[in-house]
Amino acid sequence: MQDEITMFTDGGSRGNPGPSGVGVYVETLDKKFGEYIGKKTNNEAEYEALLFGLKKLKSIIGKVKSKQTRVKCFLDSELIVKQLNHKYKLKDARIQKYFIEIWNLMLDFKKVSCSHIPREKNKIADGMVNKALDAREKQGKLL
């Protein structure tokens, strides 16, 4: 198992709020995940994607190993990255709850960093979001 893991996350909604999904690509382990998460705003979906990714990663590598692992997270939401890196204040109570949950989850790893990347560099995670939403839409259950 690696001591450093690179993970890309993305969240998206079709409408704001609207049907939403999350996508995660753990590049280091070549694992991809996507999931429908119900009706959310785009920002909520972005936070949910990071939460989903960190939880999934912890379950894959185990609690003991996670304490020895540095995780580099890449998101295409500049707002979320700036909030997580204490550059922007968190005014919305729902977003504050996400922030606290992520912050607590980060304590289960040696170090977690979050960096902004352009959308074009997040195509795999974005694809997983759309795959989850498309699958839900095919079932006729998008709303």
Distance, CA of 140 to CA of 134 (rounded, Å): 10
Number of domains in the chain: 1
pLDDT exceeds 60 at position 143: no
Q: pLDDT grade, residue 12 (50/70/90)?
A: very high
pLDDT exceeds 80 at position 3: yes
Q: Is residue 37 part of a domain?
A: yes
Distance, CA of 132 to CA of 74 (rounded, Å): 20
Q: For 92-132, what is each residue's pLDDT tens digit? A: 999 999 999 999 999 999 999 999 999 999 999 999 999 99
Q: Is residue 52 part of a domain?
A: yes
Q: What is the rounded average pLDDT of the residues 22-34?
A: 97
Q: Is residue 70 part of a domain?
A: yes
Q: Is residue 95 part of a domain?
A: yes
Q: What is the rounded average pLDDT of the residues 16-38?
A: 96
CATH code at 119?
3.30.420.10
Q: Is residue 143 part of a domain?
A: no
Structure tokens at 41: 């705003």
Q: Is residue 121 part of a domain?
A: yes
Q: For residue 101, what are the domain limits?
A: 4-138
Q: pLDDT grade, residue 142 (50/70/90)?
A: low
CA angle 72-84-92, nearest 5°?
A: 145
- What residues have CB less than 8 Å from 87, skipping those under 6 apart? none
pLDDT exceeds 90 at position 18: yes
Q: For 52-82, what is each residue's pLDDT tens digit? A: 999 999 999 988 889 999 999 999 999 999 9
Q: Is residue 126 part of a domain?
A: yes
Q: What is the pLDDT of residue 1?
A: 55
pLDDT exceeds 70 at position 135: yes
Q: What is the pLDDT of residue 63?
A: 80
Q: What is the rounded average pLDDT of the residues 18-32?
A: 97
pTM of the model: 0.94
